[in-house]
Each structure stands twice: as structure tokens, then as C-alpha cells.
Amino acid sequence: MSSFVEELTWRGMVHDIMPETAETLSKGMTAGYIGFDPTADSLHIGSLVQIMILMHFQRYGHKPYALVGGATGMIGDPSGKSAERNLLDSETLARNCTGLEDQLSKFLDFDSTKENAAVLVNNYDWMQSFSLIEFARDIGKHLTVNYMMAKDSVKKRLGTEAKQGMSFTEFTYQLIQGYDFLYLYQQHNCLLQMGGSDQWGNITTGTELIRRKMSGKAYALTCPLITKADGTKFGKTESGNVWLNREKTSPYKFYQYWLNASDEDAEKYIKIFTFLTKDEIDALVTAHREAPHQRLLQRKLAQEVTIMVHSEADVILAEQAAQILFGKATTETLKTLDAQTLLDVLDGVPQAIVSADLLAGDGLSITDALAGTTGFLKSNGEARRSLKENSISVNKEKATEAKNITPADIICDRYVLLQRGKKNYFLLVVTPS
């Protein structure tokens, strides 16, 4: 049986690790943590790397602590940033913390009766009682400014090429994060902090604080920051971050992000973002390389990650929805979709707004729906020719010139999907009377 560190290593998830970390973990159940700052009310797939680490940690019998940064979120981590973050008000922070806590509970076993049940903590709980004088006297005295300024996150913001300096607020961040580690070390015997490679400086500040104040020994492990082969930022699309919250990123768009990964990226991602074994992944990679056009690797990746974050039902729906644009979907398929998924699938498709009044009674003639009322086609004559050629469909069902659009044709409460040929789609948006 492999160890936690060995598992992360073959998956390409270890960047830096302190000496003796693996040996310490091999001695028995160890408490370790990762922090998540509540900069939004949802985590995104960049955060999913850290979540996977905690899940592996728990699977190997260790005790994971997920820390939500209610206090550090008030300051903002300068690591990897060229400019200071906007400060969030307390109401926004509280809402964001609640969102993160709800999401983390989906991935980690917090309710288990087992000794290694996960624990959720918020650093605001122990930081709120600190006065500045107390913190400066009891914590600040143990680390020199020289030590703190030597960190990359600080040097990059204070160097001659820096466009913007660093406020005292941001400068204190590493000390406050360091205190988090000290607190968890003291209160929960937490010996390990993990995070992205950009967090190495902050994490080692914590180990140094534990050493100087407690004469204790603590450990650090970081994973590489995930990159894409084409140089674009991982987890970003034209519309922004790929979120774990289905309201921010629909399961369909989430599924599509992974499905559209390049071959090179898919080989890397399937190790990081799934629990498939090495043998399973090796077999999958071999099969994919023999028939890359089938995109077996991307499809399996998309399925596994979407099931983990959302559900198997969402995967089925996403795969069915994807068939709409390829002409294989049915009216029944359309009726199973929610409005957001339908709009995501038909992103960029021309739309026309029609009043529900036009659909009342005998309904809106298909000719008017295609041309006269909407302007989808250039003229009524073009519409009639297309109908005679049997190239017009309403909600994936072939239509004749006798067809009228009625309320019975509305899907997802307000849409009617028109199609000419295989690739030309139009969307009627029905507004209330």
C-alpha cells in the first residue's frame, strides 16, 4: 500500500515538501490543514486541487482540517498578486464563508464517527479576540522583519520593478496565517500545512513560528500551480472562472470545460482531479492515444469530475444537452433541460422576443416565426421554400407550412427552438402577456 505522499507524487501533486514530512505521516494518523480564503461565495476549480489533497489525506487515514479564512479574508493574501486586493465588508465575508463551508462539506467526511473525521474551522473564531498590542507582543516578537521581507510574496511587491508597493495590512498577512498554524498546532496537534506552491512562504512562516515560540516541529507540503499547455490560465474561460457552484457555472458548462481539454492537459488533469488508479489511467491513456478522435480521456475526465462536484444525473443531462447541436437530440431531451443549460448550449444562437399573446388562440404561423415576425430568415418566401424542402424543425420535430407555434411548444417555461437544416438554430424567447 502506498503512502499519502507517494500517492500525491505519482499524480504530479507535490512541488515542495519539508524533510521528514513523509516519515512523520508514516507513523500514524496526523492532523493537517489547508486554508481557503473567502474571496467569493464559491470555490472554483483552482481550489479543487487543494480539496483533492485533503480528500486523499483523509482517505489515507489522516485527519484533515479545512480552514475558512474569515479573518485572513479581511486582509487579502498578497502571494502571486501585483496589486492589493479589494477589502470585503463583514456581511460579504460572512456570506462567502457560509458558501465555502457548504461546498467543503460535500467533499470531506465531517460527520463520520471515525477518529479521522474532517474538521471545519474559521480563523475569525480565534483572531477576533486579539488586540493589535497583544498580537504584536505575543506573536510579532518571534519573527524578524528581515525574515518576513525575504519571502518571495513580499520581495516581488517591494522590488524596484514593482508597480505598486505593499500596505502594512498585506504585510501582516503571512504573520496572521503563520499564527493560524501555531493555533492549530497548539489546540489540535496539527503538524502539517498544505497548499499551492505560491503559499510556501506563508506556510514556512508558520513552521518557523512554531519552532521559535513552542520549540516545536511542524511540516509543509505544497502542490504545483496548475497550468494549461497553451499558456492560458487554468480554470478560466472567456466568461470568467469555472466555479463549483452550479448557479455560477452550470453543470453543462462545467462538463464542457473538462471535455474541451487538450490531450496533453487531459493526461495531467485526470491524475490530479480524479481518484482513478494508476493502472486505470495508464490503460485509458493508451486507448486514447490509439484513437484520439474519440476523446476517451477527455470524456472520462469530464464524467468523473462532474460526478464528484455535481452528480451522475448532471453528467447524463450534460451529455444529452451536447447532442442538441449535433442533431441527435429529441423533443423529449429538450424537455428535460433546465433553462440555464438550454441557454448555455445555445450560447451565441440568434434570439427573437415574441409576446405570449402571439401564441394564443391559433398560435403564430411557422412562416411568421421564421421570417415575418422575427427576421430569422430574410423573407416569407425563403421560409416557405425551407418548409417545402423539409428542412425546418420546431423543438427537434419536423414542421410543415401548416404548423403554428402555440403555448404547447414552449420548453423551459419560455423558449421555442427553431432549426433550419443541421446547423442553423434560432431561439424564440416568449415573454408574458
pLDDT (tens digit per residue) in 383-431: 999 999 999 999 999 999 999 999 999 998 899 999 999 889 999 999 9
| pLDDT digits 0-9 by tens, 184-203 | 999 999 999 999 998 898 89
Question: What is the structure's pLDDT at 335?
Answer: 84
Mean pLDDT of the 9-38 span: 95
Residue among 207, 215, 214 nearest 18 (CA)? 207
User: What is the third-level CATH fold of 4-223?
Assistant: Rossmann fold (3.40.50)
**Per-residue confidence at 82, pLDDT binned at 50, 70, 90?**
very low
Half-sphere exposure of 125 (CA within 13 A, CB side): 10
The partner residues of 258 in beta bridges, in order of sequence, read none
> Do the domains 343-431 and 236-322 match in fold?
no
Decide if pLDDT at 76 tops 70.
no
Q: Would you state the CATH architecture of domain 236-322? A: Orthogonal Bundle (1.10)
| pLDDT digits 0-9 by tens, 25-60 | 999 999 999 999 888 889 999 999 999 999 999 999
Q: What is the mean pLDDT of the chain?
A: 89
- Which CATH number is associated with domain 343-431? 3.10.290.10
| pLDDT digits 0-9 by tens, 320-364 | 888 887 767 788 888 888 888 889 989 889 999 999 999 988 899
Mean pLDDT of the 56-72 span: 93
What residue segments make up the domains of the chain, in order of their start? Answer: 4-223, 236-322, 343-431
Question: What is the structure's pLDDT at 56?
Answer: 97
**Per-residue confidence at 127, pLDDT binned at 50, 70, 90?**
confident
Decide if pLDDT at 143 tops 80.
no
